[in-house]
Amino acid sequence: MNKQTIITALLALVSLTCLAQTANDYWIAADKALAAGNTDSTFYYLNLFREHFGRQYAAAYTTFLTDEDYRILHNDARWTAFMDSMRIYKHEAEDKLEIVYPRKTVMEDSNVPTVNRYDIQLDIDVEKKTLAVSATAQIDFKGRECIDFTLWKHSVVNHIRYKKKDLAYTFDSTEKSTNHYIQQGAPLRLFAPNSKGNCKVTLEYTCNLDSLDSWMSSMEKDWIQLGYYMAWFPINSDSRDFTANVSVSINENYMVSGSGIVERHGKKWEMSQPWGGFDLQIVASPNLKSKKMTDEGRTFEVIYTDFADADADSALVACNKALQFYTRLFKTNPSNNYMKFLVVPGRGGGISRKNFIAYTARRFNENFKTAIGHEMGHFWWNKAPTFSWEDWLNEGFAEFSMLWYIKCHFSRHIFDCYLEACRENARHACPIYEVDRDAPEAYDALYNKGALLLYDLSQKVGEEKFFGFMQGVAEREITSTEKLLKYAENTLGRDEKEWIENRLKL
Ligand SMILES: [Zn+2]
């Protein structure tokens, strides 16, 4: 080794030790080593991660459990040692913390003003990064003085009118958003006209999206995504069930899609959302592609940009396969007949609305397949209210469906990994019963604890009895836990009913 080589090597070492200091750096280094097929380096970085950040990021244990890329290491003794140590860290960290249990009973103020429908003209200027919006909202004031909205903070309101007369409102773009899902929003308060009843109110405003930096939102030339999280339309947090029509105009070479049914009419794109919901997602790109599959009257659509055509085909095939599987398993026919998967370019995350999923992915992989397993589960499990703890009847059941889909389509080892991840995610979660749906703690309770409850029930009563019960729940379109427990008592007996009730409150 000459002097030059030694210096270079030393410099590399210095830069490595200086740079590789965050948990993410170690993780990325491990990922890179893994991709290069260098097992020793992978374990070297994984162990650095564990030594320096293992306790802090102990929850990553479940991510490691199901990460498909790391599976080739599972037979290595070093992997077992790494995972055993991570699990111990996780349990130690959890056992020190008290379980946070935010509660909210279903008793809702049914007399709050809501929006029942929107009819919107949306002009998108890609070059200027601006929107011009003319929105008619059918508002039921229910005798109240005003209704509160959140609107994109860099908006200029031209006017708000009822029966061609100006309506009083307050909008201060410097005021902090009151909706914690919409960080870049500002409060808009609208005062009711004298009647304080059902009113068609027209709002005209423009939005400047230069500084857009919100979750699941984008105003870049190759990817435009507008929706709830940046409040391009006035969002009232009590309005969960409105229908809508959005007429979009945009630069000529752009293709448009969204959370409703989208059709092109000349220069405009018409999106109708005839089913109730709380979001209006609009996406556009010059490279937007679509693939559809219709089978026995059911249509799946995949919308994508930076995603291989062959992968879009695979996604459609997987949707159909999951649908056939669940039809055999739950006997009843699915209550949905339309599902659109939007493949979002970028890293991480997804959102789920009625008949519409936006999922971040670059390729069709195991994660994508399991996401399909969950989402297709909602073709059966979508009847309970989504904004209370009763949502476990949707999410817990869909997550359980996914687990069973994995059990029947993947190897035993893979299933064991997912089941353990579910158990570990549920381990320190708060009870399902009356958990506040809006609190972050609700996720593990409704999804993981819910799925695990069903899985454990299947093992307790036996698969035949269990799936007979599930078929009955699907057939009866059970929408509340009270009805579920009554049905459980009738079919499985009093002991099992009490067992379910206890698990919900545990
Ligand atoms: Zn779901």
pLDDT band with cut points at 50, 70 and 90 for residue 251: very high
Give the pLDDT score at 19: 53
Residue (of 428, 435, 447) closest to 375 by Cα position: 447
Distance of CA 475 from the midpoint of ligand 1 (Å): 19
Distance of CA 476 from the midpoint of ligand 1 (Å): 20
Give the pLDDT score at 385: 86
Distance of CA 381 from the midpoint of ligand 1 (Å): 9
pLDDT tens per residue across span 159-211 = 999 999 999 999 999 999 999 889 999 999 999 999 899 999 999 999 999 99
Distance of CA 342 from the midpoint of ligand 1 (Å): 15
* CA–CA separation, 187 and 149 (whole Å): 6
pLDDT band with cut points at 50, 70 and 90 for residue 351: confident
* CA–CA separation, 396 and 466 (whole Å): 15
20 pLDDT above the threshold of 60: no
Distance of CA 201 from the midpoint of ligand 1 (Å): 33
The answer to whether residues 373 and 388 touch, using CB atoms and an 8 Å cutoff, is no
How many C-beta atoms surround the C-beta of residue 192 within 10 A? 21
Longest Cα separation, the chain: 89
Give me the half-sphere count of Cα atoms (radius 13 Å) on the Cβ side of residue 255.
11
Distance of CA 152 from the midpoint of ligand 1 (Å): 27
* CA–CA separation, 334 and 501 (whole Å): 27
* CA–CA separation, 344 and 285 (whole Å): 11
Distance of CA 277 from the midpoint of ligand 1 (Å): 15
Give the pLDDT score at 176: 94
The answer to whether residues 441 and 102 touch, using CB atoms and an 8 Å cutoff, is yes
Distance of CA 378 from the midpoint of ligand 1 (Å): 7
**Angle, CA of 369, 373 and 374, to the nearest 5°:** 120
Distance of CA 494 from the midpoint of ligand 1 (Å): 29
Distance of CA 346 from the midpoint of ligand 1 (Å): 21
Out of 135-139, 182-186, 238-242, 451-455, pick the least confident: 238-242
Helices (H), 353-446: 366-377, 392-409, 412-427, 442-443
Task: Report CA torsion sign: 477, 482, 487, 492.
Answer: positive
* CA–CA separation, 379 and 225 (whole Å): 25
Beta-bridge partners for 242: 277
Distance of CA 368 from the midpoint of ligand 1 (Å): 14
Give the pLDDT score at 2: 44
Helices (H), 331-386: 366-377
Distance of CA 99 from the midpoint of ligand 1 (Å): 24
Length of the chain (residues): 506
- Local structure of 105: helix, strand or coil: coil
- Local structure of 153: helix, strand or coil: coil
Distance of CA 299 from the midpoint of ligand 1 (Å): 19
- Local structure of 208: helix, strand or coil: strand
* CA–CA separation, 477 and 470 (whole Å): 10
* CA–CA separation, 450 and 395 (whole Å): 8
Give me the half-sphere count of Cα atoms (radius 13 Å) on the Cβ side of residue 127.
3
Distance of CA 448 from the midpoint of ligand 1 (Å): 11
233 pLDDT above the threshold of 80: yes
Give the pLDDT score at 21: 78
Distance of CA 269 from the midpoint of ligand 1 (Å): 28
Say which residues have a Cβ less than 8 Å from residue 102's Cβ, sequence separation at least 6: 430, 435, 436, 439, 441, 442
* Beta strand 185-191 pairing with 198-208: unpaired
309 pLDDT above the threshold of 80: yes
Q: For the residues 249-273, what does the mean pLDDT come to?
A: 96
pLDDT band with cut points at 50, 70 and 90 for residue 7: very low
Distance of CA 357 from the midpoint of ligand 1 (Å): 9
* CA–CA separation, 384 and 395 (whole Å): 10
Distance of CA 120 from the midpoint of ligand 1 (Å): 28
45 pLDDT above the threshold of 80: yes
Say which residues have a Cβ less than 8 Å from residue 411's Cβ, sequence separation at least 6: none
Distance of CA 369 from the midpoint of ligand 1 (Å): 14
pLDDT band with cut points at 50, 70 and 90 for residue 348: low
**Model-level pTM?**
0.85
What totals of helices (H) and strands (E) does the chain contain, helices first?
A: 14, 20
> Mean pLDDT score of the chain, rounded to an integer?
93
**137: its two tokens:** 């909202």
Domains of the chain: 20-96 (no CATH), 114-287 (2.60.40.1730), 292-505 (1.10.390.10)
Distance of CA 392 from the midpoint of ligand 1 (Å): 9
Say which residues have a Cβ less than 8 Å from residue 93's Cβ, sequence separation at least 6: 55, 58, 59
Distance of CA 503 from the midpoint of ligand 1 (Å): 21
Distance of CA 463 from the midpoint of ligand 1 (Å): 23
Distance of CA 380 from the midpoint of ligand 1 (Å): 11
Distance of CA 373 from the midpoint of ligand 1 (Å): 10
The answer to whether residues 365 and 416 touch, using CB atoms and an 8 Å cutoff, is no
Distance of CA 321 from the midpoint of ligand 1 (Å): 18
Radius of gyration of the chain (CA): 25
Distance of CA 261 from the midpoint of ligand 1 (Å): 20
What Å distances lie between residue 75 and 66, 263, 296, 314, CA to CA? 14, 51, 43, 29
Distance of CA 151 from the midpoint of ligand 1 (Å): 27
As to burial, measured by CB atoms within 10 angstroms (0-12 exposed, 13-18 middle, 19+ buried), residue 164 is: exposed
Distance of CA 446 from the midpoint of ligand 1 (Å): 10
* CA–CA separation, 65 and 200 (whole Å): 52
